[in-house]
Amino acid sequence: MVLRLQEELKKKEVDFENLKQEVAGLEKDKQEESKAFDKILAKDQREALIRGTTRGSKWSDETVKKALALRLACGSTGYEKLIKTGTPLPSFRTQQRRL
């Protein structure tokens, strides 16, 4: 009985170690994905994605500058399409106010 419990305990310890390694790997993946998002989206844009809406967002100067550059590069119609696809960007009105 005691031997069986000891064997079971050893198996559980091995399972626990495997799970700890899996968690460490997932945390590393999460950090790498976060770094990739940091290259593309600013903090305020990530927050808008998490909330699911851009209403009431406080846009940083960096984000407004990027949005203006995008608007100039692809025009107002292209910029509207970007917003409709779910890209968290400031509205035209916000850009006008911040100029």
Predicted TM-score of the model (pTM): 0.64
pLDDT for residue 77: 93
Q: What is the pLDDT of residues 6-57, one digit of tens each?
A: 899 999 999 999 999 999 999 998 888 888 878 888 889 988 988 888 888 8
- Domain boundaries along the sequence of the chain: 2-98
Structure tokens at 54: 């851009």
What is the radius of gyration, based on Cα positions, of the chain? Answer: 23
pLDDT (tens digit per residue) in 72-97: 999 999 999 999 998 899 988 888 88
